[in-house]
Amino acid sequence: MAQQVRNKQVILRDYVSGFPKESDMIIVDNTITLKLPEGSNDVLLKNLYLSCDPYMRNLMNKPQGIPNPLSYSPQSVIAGFGVSKVLESGHPDYKEGDLVWGFCKWEEYRLVPSSQILFKVEHTDVPLSYYTGILGMPGITAYGGFFELGSPKKGENVFVSAASGAVGQLVGQFAKLTGCYVVGSAGSKDKIDLLKNKFGFDEGFNYKEEPDLNAALKRYFPEGIDIYFENVGGKTLDAVLLNMRVHGRIPACGMISQYNLTQPEGVTNLAHLVYKRIRMEGFNSADFFPIYPKFLEFVLPHIREGKIVYVEDIAEGLENGPAALVGLFSGRNVGKQVLVVARE
């Protein structure tokens, strides 16, 4: 007889408006049969590591206009990127014990079609949690955004906001490897110390202690910014636009400062895009999954040689998921926020 086990899940209570709270999510104990139905082509997975990412906030909104197919529904399980282990497979491409990563629901176990799995984990000499970060969605996001959209050249001036986060810490290190001058902004002294002492940024500043962001940028970039890797939007973007150089590039990865505002801040200096002939380009990881193998080839040797480091902030247990996720929006996490569901 098939084994029925507990399947803990994180449920969205209702659509969210404004800043998300832990109480917007509920932990429920559901059950699941840990056995594939007869003749199934599906794959039975045990979730190990889940990724907490800012874009997930947008999936909590009541859909307006053309809905995002990933958007959450009230009273349903939320989802994000994660690393899982194959318990049983009805599909020839996967076998018991395989490790995979992709988009998955926030629960302990799940039964999915093989088409829902994104990538098989091929390299296990690095921490498995890295597949939620440097080797997963944030990694390919940083790589594609910086190299493909930023088109960096040696000696150029790079500014990164949310610079100690899952993506920002990588962009800074990629910029240094390229021979750029790189400055990051973040929201605490500890984070600035990380930027300068761990990730090798040339400079960093705490935006909360800068009453005039324009003046701060002029101090660090007297000759202007060539590449702004955009993670925050709002006031920071407005100040950056005043300090961009001609033909600058702004890969726009996220605008976390705006996601919880019912009325987003107005950006007033957009005409500088015209004056300085700047390219600003929104993107997400999906645009770069086709170059994931090329990315791995680039990044794995650097990790193994210690030339690229990655800082994670680890939360333990699915029941602590809501707090970990909500913490992103107050900047509580230091480094990439990971949630451990199970270690194997």
Please give the residue ranges that form the binding site for a copy of itself (CB under 8 A).
58, 65-66, 68, 224, 233, 237, 242, 252-255, 258-259, 263-284, 287
Q: Which is nearer to a copy of itself, 283 or 298 (CB)?
A: 283
C-alpha distance from residue 24 to each of 54, 117, 341 (Å): 15, 28, 20
Q: Find the shortest distance in angstroms from Cβ 252 to a copy of itself.
A: 5
Q: Which is nearer to a copy of itself, 33 or 71 (CB)?
A: 71
C-alpha distance from residue 209 to each of 21, 212, 230 (Å): 26, 9, 20
Structure tokens at 307: 């030339």
- Residue type at 185 in one-letter notation: S
Burial class (CB in 10 A: 0-12, 13-18, 19+), 303: buried
Selection from 98, 124, 11, 118 nearest residue 46 by Cα:
98
Q: Find the shortest distance in angstroms from Cβ 281 to a copy of itself.
A: 4
Instruction: Report how far residue 255's alpha carbon sits from residue 241's, in angstroms, rounded to the nearest whole number.
Output: 15
| Length of the chain measured in residues | 344
Q: Which is nearer to a copy of itself, 54 or 136 (CB)?
A: 54
Q: Find the shortest distance in angstroms from Cβ 180 to a copy of itself.
A: 20
Q: Find the shortest distance in angstroms from Cβ 239 to a copy of itself.
A: 12
- Regarding beta strands 181-186 and 279-282, do their DSSP bridges make them parallel or antiparallel, or are they unpaired? unpaired
Q: Which is nearer to a copy of itself, 224 or 331 (CB)?
A: 224
C-alpha distance from residue 325 to each of 99, 260, 313 (Å): 24, 13, 12
Q: Find the shortest distance in angstroms from Cβ 282 to a copy of itself.
A: 4
Instruction: Report how far residue 165's alpha carbon sits from residue 161's, in angstroms, rounded to the nearest whole number.
Output: 9
Q: Find the shortest distance in angstroms from Cβ 219 to a copy of itself.
A: 14
